[in-house]
Amino acid sequence: MDAWKKHTDYSSRDSFKEIARSKAFSCLTPTVEQDLAKVGFTPENEDVDQKGLVTLPNGLTVLFIRKGGDWELPFVYIIYYDGSCLRTDIPEDGNP
């Protein structure tokens, strides 16, 4: 949430969930869009994965997102804050 507050699209009147749902997580910031551009996917059916928000053993907190079209195998990616901006990563383990 602190990373979102630093983003230029942040508005204190809108909650993070409202913004994310209206834009979809994959369009949250230009950097997130650029990070996800390396894979092709249909821009539908995107929501927080059952894992949700997790703090990893190394202290990094990540949000797991599940995405995929009705006719596609869904995949999971994570959103995290790298200290200067929101970034994404697509784990290879566990994704088809």
Whether residue 67 lies inside any domain: the answer is yes
Q: Which domain holds residue 85?
A: 2-89
pTM: 0.67
**pLDDT tens, residue by residue, 49-78:** 788 888 889 988 888 888 877 777 788 888
Domain count, the chain: 1
Structure confidence at residue 71 (pLDDT)? 77
Q: Which is more confidently placed, 36 or 42?
A: 36
Give which of 49, 36, 48 is closest to 89, Cα–Cα: 36
Q: What is the dihedral of CA 1, 79, 46, 74, to 10 degrees?
A: -160
Whether residue 40 lies inside any domain: the answer is yes
